[in-house]
Amino acid sequence: MFGIDTILALAYVLAGLTVVFGILAVESPRLMRATFYFGIFAVLLGEIYILLGVEFIGVIQILVYAGGVAILIVFSLMFLPRTEKAEEVPYAGHIRALIGIALVLIFVGSIGYVSSEIRGKVISMSDLSAVLLGGYSLVVVLVLVLLFVTMLTASYLAVEEG
Amino acid sequence: MDIWGISEIYVFMVTGLVLIAIGFYGLITRRNIIKILISVELLYSAAVLETIVFFHYLYPAVLDALVFALVLIAAAAVDAGFGIVLAIRLMKIYGAPNIDVARKLRGE
């Protein structure tokens, strides 16, 4: 690619886009858009991990952040009152939705391209599971207990009256 | 892989540092609890990125960093769950997901 190493060019592009979408996620005045930018940010960060050869962490990153946290935030936003004024421009919402869908398709589709550019050793899931269930089995159990307790406590706090 | 005198490790390390700066900026300046939650998630992501990049380039044979990254991602998920519940509770009790209303908790 113009005499530049492909991986380094990809690193620059992914790093730049990650920072841009991170700034947009914090700076965007509308919460729904900020959450959307955060989801794109999570996908880009997952692509960086995939580029580094740690595909499993990249997939977990995309699943947990873009598929879990971002959707959870969107779900919670539905409980909040809508303070924005109604759209005056006709079809503006549809156009924005189309742009959003196109962005998601582009960034999710680029995962395949990034994964084809990996060089060097790829850390497989079997390597990682051997480490996890070998010397770190207690850590795995503690994390599972933490997640379970969090789930119980959060659901209790959410439904508690008064 | 050095081009223009900068290697990938610097690109990713600087990216992580910039993300930490953005996260702290959002944490300090934003009042909405959802925005604060997004900023905290940015900080977690930056920590995971720095960990993975550091170990990937300096100790590629050591997989312990990946365990640390997985634990951090789990902690971020826990944090997000509690943050969302807090936002919903603040909304129910005070009518706004603004962190300023929670100052009543400490008696101000």
**pLDDT tens profile A108-152:** 777 777 777 666 677 777 888 888 888 888 888 888 898 888 888
Q: How far is A128 from chain B (nearest CA, A)?
A: 7
Question: Quick one: pLDDT band at residue B4, thresholds 50, 70, 90?
Answer: very low
**B19, B52, B63 member nearest A22 (Cβ):** B19
Query: In which residue are the tokens 């930018």 written?
Result: A37
CB-hemisphere CA count at 13 Å for B65? 19
3-class DSSP state for residue A23? Answer: helix
Instruction: State residue A30 phi and psi, 5-degree precision.
Output: -95, 130
ipTM of the complex: 0.87
The DSSP symbol for A135 reads: T
Across the interface, of A41, A128, A143, the residue whose CB is closest to B63 is A128
Q: Which of A86, A68, A84, A81 is nearest to A33 (CA)?
A: A84
A139 touches chain B (CB under 8 A): yes
B60: closest chain A residue by CA? A121
Sign, Cα dihedral of B79, B81, B82, B87: positive
Q: How many Cβ atoms sit within 10 Å of the Cβ of residue A73? A: 24
Distance of residue A112 Cα from the nearest chain B Cα, in angstroms: 20
Tens of pLDDT along B30-70?
Answer: 888 889 999 999 999 999 999 998 888 888 777 888 888 88
Alpha-carbon Rg of chain A, whole angstroms?
20
Interface mutation target, options B2, B4, B6, B41, chain A, most CBs of A under 10 Å: B41
Q: Is A143 on the interface with B (CB under 8 A)?
A: yes
The whole-angstrom separation of Cα A69 and Cα A38 is 9
Share of chain B above pLDDT 90, in %: 31
